[in-house]
Structure 1
């Protein structure tokens, strides 16, 4: 099995892709590329058994309805506490709330934060995959699944804060040490240094590990009552088992 992880950014310069090849009892990172453009991402996903993408796959249904109503000049805004809760519905997807309940982490709002720029790029990539004939299901049932590396690290009992950006490269290296201790079967090979110097690279590897968990049905899935919503808004796959279980099947 081959899994791919994509740490997506609005532009190629901060986008990383990682490939992991799995065999009985172990896994080897076969590549980590920084500065990945859409073509590289499409090719990587098309040649993967499962790919994890760190980016919202859609917008909240309530936000989409709000934008349409605003376009048509037909918005009714509640006031007071009701208004605050209404705005919260516009900014958080069902999966964002589920992630918060399970991890205490709140994903960036795709409708009220700069991650929206990245989601616009992601929408184009998902469309490109569908045009290539790749099965795209925003709930994660197809070849791609939405992931959140910090939440995956949290679920695996690893440090998940304070390792981003160049100023924290020391903590990034400590996280790599922690990951390799928890997953001695993972061979970073020639790409270990890159993961120690770039949080984008490491997040791509974590995304590829989460894709493996998803392929093994070892991640959260939308409950039946939210399947339709997840297929529109996206659904973040959170690991439900330990890292040690990932290499047990080839």
Structure 2
């Protein structure tokens, strides 16, 4: 079994891809930076699960708001147009579920800088769908699944403060990760790349999260949100320890 992880950026330059081979011990890793959509789409049919670190869609309420405004219709608003109303437009159902599980809001795809990357993701999902022969199920029911590396790490009990911007913190985090996952083989070149680049680090975590999802070890989409998740996307968060991923 193979799983892959993508840390998606707005441009190819910052996009990383990691492929993990679980067919034997140790689990081998193939990771690269500056990966194109075509390369990612080519990998999709070869893996059991492909975890992508980016929102797969926009909030239904936000889409409705923008559509109505664009067609010069009156937009729906709360009486005071306060924080609760803005949050309803800004966050997806999965974002609210993620906050309930983790205690933290993800970035808003509607109002934060994540939007540029989500535009890239929408195009990538189409290309992946073409490669797979069917549109991507944004709820995670097919090959591709939305993941959230920093929340995944916290769910496995790792501290994540500063790891995105500090190579020393990443090095310590990587050491802790390998202590708990000795079955994960990283060459010295792999380790150097993961320490120097938070993009490649997150791609490996995304591939691990994809493994968790493949094994049924992530929080499922609640029954009442399945149709909404197919439009908005759904973040697969771990509900079992890292050690349970061992081949």
TM category (shorter chain) comes to over 0.9
* 2:237 is aligned with 1:234: no
CA contact (8 A) 2:38 2:127 kept: no
* 2:139 is aligned with 1:122: no
Secondary structure class of the residue paired with 2:3: strand
CA offsets per residue over residues 63-94 of structure 1, 9 Å max, x none? 000011101222143343x5321111110001
User: Quick one: distance in 2 between partners of 1:39 and 1:203?
Assistant: 20
The match for 1:169 is: 167
Gap regions ≥5 residues in structure 2 = none
The match for 2:190 is: 191
Secondary structure class of the residue paired with 2:44: helix
TM-score, structure 1 normalization? 0.94
Secondary structure class of the residue paired with 2:174: helix
User: Quick one: distance in 1 between partners of 2:138 and 2:11?
Assistant: 22
User: Quick one: distance in 1 between partners of 2:217 and 2:178?
Assistant: 20
User: Quick one: distance in 1 between partners of 2:190 and 2:175?
Assistant: 14
The match for 2:153 is: 153
TM-score, structure 2 normalization? 0.95
The match for 1:144 is: 144
Structure 1 runs of 4+ off > 4 angstroms?
Answer: none
The match for 1:109 is: 108
Tell me by how many angstroms 1:50 deviates: 0.7
Secondary structure class of the residue paired with 1:101: helix
Secondary structure class of the residue paired with 1:33: strand
- Mark the CA change 1:134 to 1:160 in structure 2 (over 3 Å): closer, same or farther: farther
- Mark the CA change 1:247 to 1:26 in structure 2 (over 3 Å): closer, same or farther: farther
The match for 2:244 is: 245
User: Quick one: distance in 1 between partners of 2:49 and 2:186?
Assistant: 19
Cα RMSD, aligned residues only: 1.3
CA contact (8 A) 1:147 1:207 kept: yes
User: Quick one: distance in 2 between partners of 1:52 and 1:87?
Assistant: 29
User: Quick one: distance in 2 between partners of 1:13 and 1:134?
Assistant: 28
User: Quick one: distance in 1 between partners of 2:97 and 2:25?
Assistant: 32
Aligned length: 244
The match for 2:22 is: 22
Secondary structure class of the residue paired with 2:246: helix
Q: Larger deviation: 71-80 or 185-194?
A: 71-80
